Amino acid sequence: MPTAPDRRLPARTSALVLSLTALPLAATLLFAAPGSAAQASPVSPTTQAPVAAPSAPTPEDLQGFLDTRVPELLARYDVPGAAAAVVADGAPVASGTYGYADPSDETPYTEEHLLPTGSVAKSFTAVAVLQLVDEGVLDLDEDVNAYLPEQARLPDTFDEPVTLHHLLTHTAGFEDRLGGTAVTDPDDLLALDEYVLDTDVERVHPPGRYSLYSNHGVTLAGYIVQQQTGIPFADGLRETLFDPLGMTDTAFVQLSEVDPERLPTPHHPDGSRAADLYLHQTPAGAAVTTTADMARFMTALLSQGELDGTRVLSASSVDAMFESQWALTSAASGVGYGTWEYRQESPRVVGHSGDLPGHHAEYFLVPETGLGLFLSSNAIVGPDSEVTDHLIEFRGDLRRTFLDAFAPPNTSVPADPDAEVDLNRYTGTFLNLRLSESEASRLRALSTFVLVDSAPGGGLTVASGPGAPLTMRPAGNGVFVSEDGLHRVVFGEGSEEASSLMFTGSAITTYERVGPLSNPLVHQSVLSVSLLVLATCLVWPLTALVRRLRKRPPHAPRRALWARLTAFAALLGSGVTFGAVGYVSVDMDASYRWLFEGSPMLGLPLLLTAPFLLGMVVWAVMAWAGRWWSVVGRIHYSFIALTGPALLAFGVYYRLLWPLN
């Protein structure tokens, strides 16, 4: 599930809103995006002088690194266990398993464990597409509708057609819906063709405009492979990729079909066991592998598509996987076919990460030096972790230290203290565009945005999550560098102001500037104020009791009681609705059931409450016409009545009003 550099939001929201917006990792990252839906990874180069390239590491150096650093980081991040493999000079040279596959009975990780890949499997799917391109069966620039049966063809929403190039670079412009993509009961799984033929995913951006991580797009690419070969997708990959490379323990398979004794036990960040999630979108992330098999796969890619005399991909297609096929700007990280850039500067670093509930994997390659590392773990951070920065996790820290040790950059991108930059062009709110337009997982918008303000001394503050904002200084060409040198943000320029931004190392997540009507901070404020105002109806029983004790007669007709009962019903229904949202935000397994399976529990309560929310407006008009209560009482009820349209508008926008979700 993966998949963003959300950097730290100012502490300006209420406790209620924080609970509603703290949507779990499972909901924000589906199958593989770097970090928190695209979590900005710490990157080299830094603002310091370039680091001198070390001599080529020996196998002993690399094995020593794993044996020392992995256990240290397991302890630092409170992760139960991990497995890793390193390749260099065209061969596997180091590997190891560390910690516990199941800490409850101290079962150790071993090289026999099958490791769920999550979205690392997208690289396998990209190879399958490129194999057919090598054979002349597929054309990367052809309209995909030419390869799809009529029932699965994409609508002509935009003038430009969607191509395989767009599918493999996440630039097709699909919404990112979670509902209907996975199940928690394997008996409910759909076959690949059933899923594709029964699923309508909206096209919301013109192809090629943005890179927006899309599991559906890669699934569609895998389905096209199946259609063109006439072989079930999983069988086809085994015949054309895994068997030829000797990857005997790698397969596209659901976790329910794997011997549970060979699977590490997955863990949530709170240390609890994660429930399994089964993917309809098989080509996007339903695979398992081993460290030995991934070492063979990485070696084949670094050897231009050939291993032990067997060629599985042309050298030109391997180059296409490694090269930047799309980038927001020339200064931004690029997306390849089935990979993305972790670092643009020489030596370039490319790869892919992947996440399923409690299973986390990543591989990255340094083609210039022939180095590669694969890592899998059964958590990325645990309950007793020393680390509080939500951007830092086990995999990212290991990647950073590995690259610092064995592949430091030859150049740096320093901040320019003399740069004259109009900072007003860059300030504003930028929304993560990896969102659903059609169901309740759109709630992710409440926590996946970036707030950019000007900073003293000629820089910017960039915030997108809990904690202190980053301070970033200009480096030219719309690039800003953090003061610690570990993070960069690149802005896409509009005519009068920056229209978008992207974090270096997170090429598959684009943020777009939004105005007040689409601003999550405005929505949070509307929600908080509306619920608080609606809750003031709870003072009525107290005032009624006071009136009764003072033996004052009622000063409103009996139907005024119905008006107040309507408000109580609206409060109860709203409490259930947003209580359900809060429940999903704290119970990750519930998020799988409700968000991925499209449960009506996030939409039905507000639908049932809608008559009461609208009824309050009618009662308010009648109260003024009939002069019920005092003027202060009528004003109070009117404010309460206004919360009805506000909460309904919130529900419509975030698809919380069934059947909108």
Tell me: pLDDT of 449 over 80.
Answer: yes
> To the nearest whole number, what is the mean pLDDT of the chain?
89
- In the chain, the amino acid numbered 214 is S
CA atoms within 13 A on the CB side of 58: 3
Q: Which residue has the higher pLDDT, 352 or 582?
A: 352
Tell me: pLDDT of 500 over 60.
Answer: yes
Q: Would you state the pLDDT for residue 598?
A: 79
The string of pLDDT tens digits covering residues 478-490 is 999 988 777 899 9
**Beta bridge pairs of residue 345:** none
Q: By the 8 A CB rule, do 508 and 337 touch?
A: no
Give the C-alpha separation, 366 to 129, whole Å. 23
The string of pLDDT tens digits covering residues 298-340 is 999 999 999 999 999 999 999 999 999 999 999 999 999 999 9
Measuring CA to CA, how many Å separate 62 from each of 86, 258, 660? 7, 31, 53
pLDDT mean over 350-363? 97
Helix or strand holding residue 564 (H, E): helix 559-586
Q: Would you state the pLDDT for residue 546?
A: 78
Q: Would you state the pLDDT for residue 4?
A: 35
Q: Would you state the pLDDT for residue 1?
A: 46
pLDDT mean over 431-441? 93
Quote the pTM value.
0.90
The string of pLDDT tens digits covering residues 269-304 is 999 999 999 999 999 999 999 999 999 999 999 999
Tell me: pLDDT of 33 over 70.
Answer: no
pLDDT mean over 101-110? 96
Least Cα distance to 37 among 45, 51, 25, 53 occurs for 25
**pLDDT interval class at 19 (50, 70, 90):** very low
Q: By the 8 A CB rule, do 264 and 113 touch?
A: yes
Q: Would you state the pLDDT for residue 660?
A: 62
- In the chain, the amino acid numbered 161 is P
Question: Which tokens in the block code for residue 212?
Answer: 């927006």
**pLDDT interval class at 11 (50, 70, 90):** very low
Give the C-alpha separation, 6 to 391, whole Å. 7
- In the chain, the amino acid numbered 493 is E
**pLDDT interval class at 527 (50, 70, 90):** very high
Give the C-alpha separation, 355 to 375, whole Å. 12
DSSP letters spanning 373-423: EEEEES-SS-TT-S---TT--HHHHHHHHHHHHH---SS-----TT----G
**pLDDT interval class at 466 (50, 70, 90):** low
Q: How do strand 449-455 and strand 115-116 relate by DSSP bridges?
A: unpaired
Q: By the 8 A CB rule, do 450 and 501 touch?
A: yes
Q: Reduced to 3 states, what is the DSSP secondary structure of residue 148? A: coil
The string of pLDDT tens digits covering residues 204-252 is 999 999 999 999 999 999 999 999 999 999 999 999 999 999 999 999 9
Q: Would you state the pLDDT for residue 550?
A: 75
Give phi and psi for 357, each to the nearest 5.
Answer: -55, 110
Q: What is the 3-state secondary structure (H, E, C) of 22-58?
A: CCCHHHHCCECCCCCCCCCCCCCCCCCCCCCCCCCCC
Tell me: pLDDT of 495 over 90.
Answer: no
40 by Cβ neighbours in 10 Å (0-12 / 13-18 / 19+) ranks as buried
Helix or strand holding residue 134 (H, E): helix 121-134
Percent of the chain with pLDDT over 90: 76
Give the C-alpha separation, 637 to 427, whole Å. 39
Measuring CA to CA, how many Å separate 455 from each of 7, 422, 460, 534? 16, 12, 5, 38
**Dihedral sign (CA 436, 442, 446, 448):** negative
Tell me: pLDDT of 445 over 60.
Answer: yes
Q: Would you state the pLDDT for residue 149?
A: 96
Tell me: pLDDT of 366 over 50.
Answer: yes
Out of 42-46, 118-122, 548-552, 631-635, pick the least confident: 42-46
* Sequence-ordered strand ranges (E) for 483-629: 488-493, 498-503, 511-514
CA dihedral 45, 49, 51, 52 (to 10 degrees): 140
**pLDDT interval class at 16 (50, 70, 90):** very low
Tell me: pLDDT of 5 over 60.
Answer: no
**pLDDT interval class at 32 (50, 70, 90):** very low
Cβ count within 10 A of residue 239? 12
Q: Would you state the pLDDT for residue 410?
A: 87
Q: Reduced to 3 states, what is the DSSP secondary structure of residue 144? A: helix
Least Cα distance to 379 among 26, 5, 123, 94 occurs for 26
Q: Which residue has the higher pLDDT, 63 or 414?
A: 63
Q: Which residue has the higher pLDDT, 638 or 582?
A: 638
Q: What is the DSSP letter of 507?
A: T
Tell me: pLDDT of 607 over 70.
Answer: yes
Q: Would you state the pLDDT for residue 428?
A: 96
**pLDDT interval class at 523 (50, 70, 90):** very high
Question: How much helix, strand and coil, in percent to the nearest 5, is found in the chain?
Answer: 40, 20, 40
51 by Cβ neighbours in 10 Å (0-12 / 13-18 / 19+) ranks as middle
pLDDT mean over 565-586? 93
Give the C-alpha separation, 127 to 142, whole Å. 18
| Helix axes of 315-322 and 291-302: crossing angle, nearest 10 degrees | 110
Q: Buried b vs exposed e over 375-414: b needs ≥16 C-beta within 10 Å?
A: bbbbbbbbeebebeebbbbbbbbbbbebbeebbbbeebbb
Least Cα distance to 279 among 158, 425, 119, 169 occurs for 119
